Amino acid sequence: MALPAAAVTTAGWAALVVLVPMAAVALVVWVAENRSGAPAGDALRLAADGWLLAHGVRMQTPSGPFGLTPLLLSVVVLRQLYRAGRNSALATGAASWLGVIRVAVAVGLAYAFFGMVAALLGATSGVRADPASAGVVTGLVAGFGAGWGAARAIGLGAAMAFGLPDVVRRGASAGGVAAAAVLTAGVLAAGAQIAVTHEEFRAVFGSLHAGVVGGVAITALCVLYAPTAAVWATAYLVGPGFAVGAGTAVDASTVQLAPLPSFPLLAAVPTGPASGMVSLTLAAPLIAGLLAGVVTARPTRTEDAALPRWRIALGGALIAGPVAGVLVALAAAASRGPLGDGRLSELGPSPWHVGIVLAVEVAVAALVGATVARTAASWAAWSATRRWSPDAPGSGTSPWAGRLPSGPRRLVVGLFSGSAAADRAAPPPREPRESEPTADTAPQPHRRVGEG
């Protein structure tokens, strides 16, 4: 298949797979709650605007720009674009980095056209997106996702990773592990905070008086923005915290808040400094760093399972810090956005602060973890070759052990050194030499006549 046709087909399918269910949900809500008499086209325009918002496109409203991205929907969009790039690469027979770039550009251009069309069709008198900006943003997102999928489809990503120096490969892998661990801790912390503040959550939800259909819509919004809350919780655990408005700050030591909008998820925002139990969770970045250090010091996946050199283990630990910082900083940037020009123009964590602080925390903890793990592995490897045996020369054992019979000696060695050492201590049966007589060939003594 020609590349333009494959790009248009896969990009269009990636857009429709996300946009059609959103339009269906919007129409269901419009049918159930059509009290204002608004036309059905407004529901479809709302779905198009939500689709653009999932790509990071900022919407213009009468109160200012709206740019808080629903990250759960963004993950679904990236997954579809990844599949679009993979299918385009397989359909066109891409086999090199040049082919991957061509697929990424073609899918990005086709998807940018759909983004511009969505911006034009989704514009209303109150909410609209600039078509040029929508095309650029959606095209860049599509190019990234499609390029990633194309590279993975033909195996270039793995080939590039194996071509990197060992210290860089170990550091990048450990940094990814640390970032995943910190984000997982943020998910758990956000879930725990919502569970603790469930009464406030229910109070805010009830104050909206949304009805059945409106309540379902608000719940869906809370689910779509749950990953955003998890990233904010991650920034809280890292240290810099996040903002919920201009002049506000929420971190473990300081909480400065202004009146918050009536949205249920915002009821979980801490209202005071961290308590003693909550302070224990602030060790999550350090634990993630220790885990990254263990990853850099693990043996190679070869038959000999050799341990890495010290410079590789410690160098990988130093690289893991910046890698983890960059990954979490990107997540923080994606979770940040304005809700108008007023007090809510600053929402979310600062990517720079979160990335720099986490890079330092992970790097220091990874150095400690790599040192401990590498030392423990070296000691275990040395001890495996120095097991105690009374038969070993220079072992410093008491003379009595050598005077024991074979059976008791094996028992003593098995108790002190393990079964493997006991097996080594037992001397193997000696094979008779050709010059030595055996039981069958040994000469029998001559008997006198009349004996026996």
- 3-state SS of the chain is CCHHHHHHHHHHHHHHHHHHHHHHHHHHHHHHCCCCCCCHHHHHHHHHHHHHHHCCCCEEECCEEECCCCHHHHHHHHHHHHHHHHHHHHHHCCCCHHHHHHHHHHHHHHHHHHHHHHHHHCCCCCCECCHHHHHHHHHHHHHHHHHHHHHHHCCHHHHHHHHCCHHHHHHHHHHHHHHHHHHHHHHHHHHHHHHHCHHHHHHHHHHCCCHHHHHHHHHHHHHHCHHHHHHHHHHHHHCCCEEECCCCEECCCCEECCCCCCCHHHHHCCCCCCCHHHHHHHHHHHHHHHHHHHHHCCCCCCCCCCCCCHHHHHHHHHHHHHHHHHHHHHHHHHCCCCECCCHHHCEECCHHHHHHHHHHHHHHHHHHHHHHHHHHHHHHHHHHCCCCCCCCCCCCCCHHHHHCCHHHHHHHHHHHHCHHHHHHHCCCCCCCCCCCCCCCCCCCCCCCCCCC
Task: Give the per-residue pLDDT at 386.
Answer: 57
Task: Give the per-residue pLDDT at 75.
Answer: 94
Task: Give the per-residue pLDDT at 236.
Answer: 93
Task: Give the per-residue pLDDT at 421.
Answer: 42
Question: Taking the model in full, what pTM does it have?
Answer: 0.80
Over residues 36-48, the pLDDT tens digits come to 566 777 888 889 9
Task: Give the per-residue pLDDT at 231.
Answer: 95
Over residues 338-368, the pLDDT tens digits come to 888 878 888 999 999 999 999 999 999 999 9
Task: Give the per-residue pLDDT at 37.
Answer: 63
Q: Give mean pLDDT in consecutive 10-residue pieces for the chain, a chain of 452 residues.
A: 88 94 86 68 87 92 88 94 93 87 94 94 86 94 94 82 84 94 94 88 83 80 92 93 88 84 86 75 91 86 65 91 96 91 86 95 94 84 59 48 58 46 46 52 50 43
